[in-house]
């Protein structure tokens, strides 16, 4: 590549930093000065000029979002070479080190990282076990003491020290480490094993660190050790944006770096490409009295941008909210500012949550970066708990949490109380309730289904790729999402489309024919969104360009048919119930996006027991039958009566009609079970109600007879049936009736297993059918828009797909609305009116799109990244990845107003910014004025950090900053922030008036 051409795009100071020799470099880069561009240029320069191989470059930053941006921009320049560079967070780098060297730090090969919620629950459990009063109020302080101990080297108080031992022991027992241990164990590894450190020093010949002011003591020690020999380390920092001391960051690392690597003068970036000069000057005033590495920074705006800063005082919160909503509408309607160029920043979430309720009412799209990571989303919370339990079925803390979400607080509390009363484990208490000893039939079924669902997942995990495991968990979760297709998929008629090959490899071009320009545009847009391949419009005159192996989709008859060897005449599938072109294309896509059959249930044994009674702990077996299945067909049978050696209860005999006389001369369990176990071999075992009944009998007999417990993968078909047909009868009799099967002599074991084999085959087909008919809802908005444009809304399927897609179509998450109106601008006004009118006429309640379906799709996309890993490794890697996601990673690239805390706004930029809550004890925080064990920094140090936090907020804006202050916020009289005094000469101060 032409490196000189790339360098010419940089300003003088950027170029100076990029071309600096391979020596320790400290680059102080203010907001908007192009630090990311400079880092990228330094990496490219190192490869092209210094001939450093890409795989020997380590680029560290502080958020996945920043790392992904770095990767994306490097890929655009270096193409495939960019993939060999390690771009990631400190924690992701340390995780790769620990995974490779896990045995040296006593970690399980499949260890994973616990999230904040798990830490809180664990500590709360420990404190309650010790009968500590007000345990919930002490958790945060103790966890902070743990962090201060590990990251800052502070001594633990006596009580915290004893809790710390129990806390770390629990983590080790359950193959877990916490967020801080990811760092401390890596440093420990490098200190204890110099040979390992030398490997990584040799591996990474060039080290770059972004946001260096946010590093803690441990992180600095890690990079210092890595760079100590070759000293080719390039550090980018801005002491003015150091805002994380409260969570361990040490801005003094900048001075330590200068001393340790003998840097006399840092390089500076002072040309701001983002903000107008008045915004920069105002922000600089805030920092005048703070302790700065480079106090005489002269940051200048490039391009003479105009900028305005205003402060408004309100009496009540309602006035502030009215103003913000009207201002957003003004910016959008009068100044044509996109929603995604607007941000409302605030010191704490309560302000954003209050504003969000009013934005919903006004149908103003917004997104909030709230909480630490994805685990705050209720769907993700449940999914992760299932994954964690699959990862470690013995973790009662996870089991309890999952029970609370899936079984409800009341039932979980009853089971917990019983476990405490009887001094038994939670798992044992759960099984007792599930046996029916302590619960009625309804609760018994609920608990057996819950236990069976978990057991099926644990048993089958080794058969699945990771994305398939995620799909199985989601399929089994009740009330997963507001899915129109899941609720009404039975209205869709299965279509006999062929699954095409090579649609995602780029080997085939897809040609689409529709005579209507707008419908053709929608069809191509839909296909491009789904497949990573070339999609072209087919015209009557353009068929000569089609290769014989290309795929041709004909939505309407074409005079040149056949066009290729792979024509799909979609129009032939239009019928009563479905008339829309996009509806038919959507239905075709549902088949294409399904993964190929995974062969999980290819070879297995179905078995059934007849017994002397219903108690697996005491009763005996009177008959065993089984069939061995290969490729869906019965290959071999096993059937025998068994002499149980005990009386057959009258109730049992009335069901299966096996008498004492029938089994008198039959072989005993000692004779039968070894033969049965031999017949089973290593095949998967399938039984109906197996976990509650059949499997328990086998395990008990194996123990009594001294036989090895069957280690075969087990599967309970009753759980599958209950997931498919909730709130319906799912016995073998009921399912045989549903599918019109002859049950033979019911309640004789062999007849039962033969009919169960047939039922199981039908259930698997039902699962496949449901998976196809409920897939792709993420793309239903294309069908909704197409059906509106074609006026195809009277038929059943057309109307259903409209309902499935309309909410997303009208939301900021839409992938087609904006491209369509940009391509056909004359249609916008007509289309908007038409959508609203049809929605009302179809009685579709247009609501704010809650993005659950978008979230669901996002999870599946994430899971797909782990599908090639062995399943245990994939689970541990995914759990660690999610635990380390930070707030900004929740933000999607959609046209929506951003509601962010000042902390979450760091690194982002917007045209317009409103900073709400500029009152004393909000900005600066009330905690700034307090000195306690949780944060023992001097008040002046904490005040400086709060000034830097406001500086960060102000410098997010390109052209306008509005500060809002409320005299009576949340029921308390407030004073304005003392920081306002230092900037009032630069801003327009107004009193709000209606």
Indicate which residues carry an active-site annotation: 747
Q: Is 727 helix (H, G, I), strand (E, B) or coil?
A: coil
Q: Could you write out the three-class secondary structure of 897-932?
A: EEEEECCCCCCCCEEEEEEECCECECCCEHHHHCCC
Identify each DSSP E strand in 631-688 by its residue range. Answer: 633-641, 684-687
Q: What is the dihedral of CA 548, 551, 557, 560, to 10 degrees?
A: -20
Q: In angstroms, rounded to a whole number, what is the distance separating the alpha carbons of residues 783 and 785?
A: 5
From its phi and psi, is residue 171 left (phi > 0), alpha (psi between -120 and 50) or beta?
A: alpha
Q: Which of 154, 286, 142 is nearest to 216 (CA)?
A: 154
Q: Are 536 and 512 in contact, with CB atoms under 8 Å apart?
A: yes
Kindly report each contact of residues 353-358 with a partner whose C-beta sits within 8 Å and lies 24 or more positions away, as own/partner.
354/317, 354/321, 355/321, 355/324, 355/899, 355/916, 356/899, 358/321, 358/325
Q: In angstroms, rounded to a whole number, what is the distance separating the alpha carbons of residues 806 and 207?
A: 49
Q: Are 965 and 981 in contact, with CB atoms under 8 Å apart?
A: no
Cis peptide before 562 (omega within 30 of 0): yes
Cis peptide before 924 (omega within 30 of 0): yes
Q: Which of 508, 516, 512 is nearest to 526 (CA)?
A: 512
Other beta carbons within 10 Å of 733: 14
Q: In angstroms, rounded to a whole number, what is the distance separating the alpha carbons of residues 582 and 578?
A: 10
Q: In angstroms, rounded to a whole number, what is the distance separating the alpha carbons of residues 987 and 841?
A: 51
HSE-CB of 435 using CA atoms within 13 angstroms: 14
Other beta carbons within 10 Å of 879: 22
Residue located via tokens 């489309």 = 497
Which uninterrupted H or E stretch holds 206? Answer: strand 206-209
- DSSP character string of 816-863: SHHHHHHHSGGGHHHHHHHHHHHHHHTT--------HHHHHHHHHHHH
Q: Which of 526, 513, 521, 525 is nearest to 563 (CA)?
A: 513
Q: Is 562 helix (H, G, I), strand (E, B) or coil?
A: coil
Tokens standing for 333?
């309607």
């Amino acid at each position: 590549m032409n490196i000189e051409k790339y360098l010419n795009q940089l300003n003088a100071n950027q170029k100076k930093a990029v071309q600096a020799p391979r020596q320790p470099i400290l680059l102080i880069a203010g907001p908007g000065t192009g630090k990311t561009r400079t880092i990228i240029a330094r990496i490219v320069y190192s490869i092209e000029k210094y001939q450093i191989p890409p795989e020997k470059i380590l680029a560290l930053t502080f958020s996945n979002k920043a790392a992904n941006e770095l990767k994306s921009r490097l890929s655009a320049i270096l193409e495939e070479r960019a993939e060999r560079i390690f771009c990631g967070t400190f924690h992701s780098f340390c995780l790769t080190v620990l995974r490779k060297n896990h045995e040296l730090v006593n970690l399980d090969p499949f260890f994973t990282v616990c999230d904040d919620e798990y830490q809180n629950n664990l500590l709360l459990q420990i404190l309650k076990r010790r009968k500590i009063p007000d345990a919930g109020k002490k958790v945060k302080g103790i966890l902070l003491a743990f962090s201060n101990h590990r990251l800052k080297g502070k001594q633990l108080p006596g009580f915290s020290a004893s809790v710390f031992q129990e806390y770390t022991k629990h983590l080790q027992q359950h193959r877990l480490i916490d967020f801080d241990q990811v760092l401390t164990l890596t440093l420990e590894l490098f200190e204890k094993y110099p040979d390992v450190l030398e490997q990584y020093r040799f591996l990474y010949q060039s080290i770059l660190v972004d946001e260096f002011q946010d590093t803690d003591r441990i992180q600095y020690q890690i990079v210092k050790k890595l760079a100590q020999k070759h000293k080719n380390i390039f550090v980018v920092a801005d002491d003015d944006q150091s805002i994380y001391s409260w969570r361990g960051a040490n801005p003094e690392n900048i001075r330590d770096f200068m001393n340790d690597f003998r840097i006399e003068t840092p390089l500076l970036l002072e040309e701001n490409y983002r903000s107008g000069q008045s915004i920069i000057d105002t922000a600089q005033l805030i920092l005048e009295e703070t302790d700065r590495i480079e106090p005489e920074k002269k940051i200048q705006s490039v391009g003479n941008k105009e900028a305005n800063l205003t402060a408004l005082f309100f009496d009540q919160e309602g006035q502030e909210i009215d103003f913000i909503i009207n201002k957003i509408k003004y910016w959008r309607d009068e100044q044509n500012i996109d929603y995604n160029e607007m941000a409302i920043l605030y010191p704490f979430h309560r302000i954003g949550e209050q504003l969000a309720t009013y934005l919903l009412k006004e149908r103003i799209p917004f997104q909030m970066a709230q909480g630490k990571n994805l685990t705050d989303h209720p769907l993700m919370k449940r999914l992760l708990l299932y994954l964690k339990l699959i990862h470690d079925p013995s973790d009662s803390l996870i089991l309890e949490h999952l029970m609370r979400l899936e079984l409800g607080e009341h039932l979980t509390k009853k089971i917990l109380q019983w476990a405490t009363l009887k001094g038994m484990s939670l798992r044992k208490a759960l099984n007792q309730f599930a046996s029916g000893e302590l619960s009625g039939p309804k609760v018994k079924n609920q608990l057996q289904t819950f236990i069976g669902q978990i057991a099926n997942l644990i048993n089958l995990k080794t058969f699945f790729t990771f994305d398939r495991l995620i799909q199985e968990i989601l399929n089994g979760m009740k009330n997963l999402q507001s899915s129109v297709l899941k609720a009404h998929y039975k209205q869709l008629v299965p279509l006999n489309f062929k699954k095409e090959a090579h649609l995602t490899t780029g080997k085939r071009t897809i040609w689409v024919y529709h005579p209507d320009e707008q419908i053709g545009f929608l069809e191509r847009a839909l296909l491009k969104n789904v497949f990573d391949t070339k999609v072209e419009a087919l015209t009557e005159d353009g068929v000569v360009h089609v290769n014989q192996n290309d795929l041709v989709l004909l939505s309407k008859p074409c005079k040149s048919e056949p066009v290729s060897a792979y024509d799909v005449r979609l129009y032939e599938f239009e019928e009563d119930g479905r008339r829309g072109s996009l509806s038919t294309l959507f239905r075709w896509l549902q088949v294409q996006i399904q993964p190929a059959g995974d062969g999980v249930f290819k070879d297995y044994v179905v078995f059934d027991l007849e017994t002397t009674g219903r108690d697996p702990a005491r009763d005996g077996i009177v008959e065993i039958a089984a069939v061995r299945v290969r490729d869906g067909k019965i290959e071999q049978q096993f059937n025998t009566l068994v002499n149980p050696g005990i009386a057959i209860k009258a109730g049992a005999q009335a069901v299966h009609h096996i008498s004492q006389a029938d089994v008198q001369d039959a072989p005993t369990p000692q004779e039968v079970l070894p033969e049965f176990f031999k017949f089973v071999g290593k095949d998967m075992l399938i039984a109906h109600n197996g976990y509650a009944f059949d499997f328990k009998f086998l395990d008990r007999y194996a123990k009594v007879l001294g036989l090895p417990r069957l280690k075969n993968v087990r599967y309970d078909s009753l759980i599958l049936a209950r997931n498919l047909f909730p709130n319906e009868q799912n016995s073998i009799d009921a399912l045989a009736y549903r599918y019109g099967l002859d049950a033979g002599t019911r309640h004789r074991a062999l007849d039962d297993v033969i009919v169960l084999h047939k039922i199981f085959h039908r259930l698997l087909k039902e699962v496949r059918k449901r998976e196809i008919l409920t897939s792709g809802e993420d793309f239903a908005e294309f069908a909704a828009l197409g059906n509106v444009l074609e006026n195809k809304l009277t038929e059943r399927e057309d109307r259903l797909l409209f309902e499935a897609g309309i909410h997303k179509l009208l939301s900021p998450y839409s992938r087609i609305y904006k491209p369509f109106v940009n391509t056909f601008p004359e249609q916008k006004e007509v289309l908007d009116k038409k959508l609203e009118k049809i929605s009302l006429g179809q009685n579709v309640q247009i609501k704010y799109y809650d993005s659950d379906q978008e979230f669901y799709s996002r999870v599946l996309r994430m899971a797909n990244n782990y599908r090639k890993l062995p399943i245990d490794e994939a689970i541990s890697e995914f759990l660690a990845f999610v635990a380390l996601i930070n707030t900004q990673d929740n933000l999607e690239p959609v046209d929506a107003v951003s509601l962010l805390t000042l902390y979450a706004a760091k690194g982002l930029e917007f045209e317009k910014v409103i900073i709400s809550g500029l009152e004393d004890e909000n900005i600066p925080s009330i905690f700034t004025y307090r000195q306690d064990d949780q944060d023992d920094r001097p008040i002046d140090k904490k005040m400086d950090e709060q000034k830097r936090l406001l500086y960060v907020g102000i410098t997010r804006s390109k052209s306008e900053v509005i500060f809002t202050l409320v005299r009576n916020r949340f029921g308390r009289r407030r004073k304005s922030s003392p920081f306002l005094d230092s900037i009032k000469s630069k801003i327009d101060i107004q009193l709000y008036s209606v």
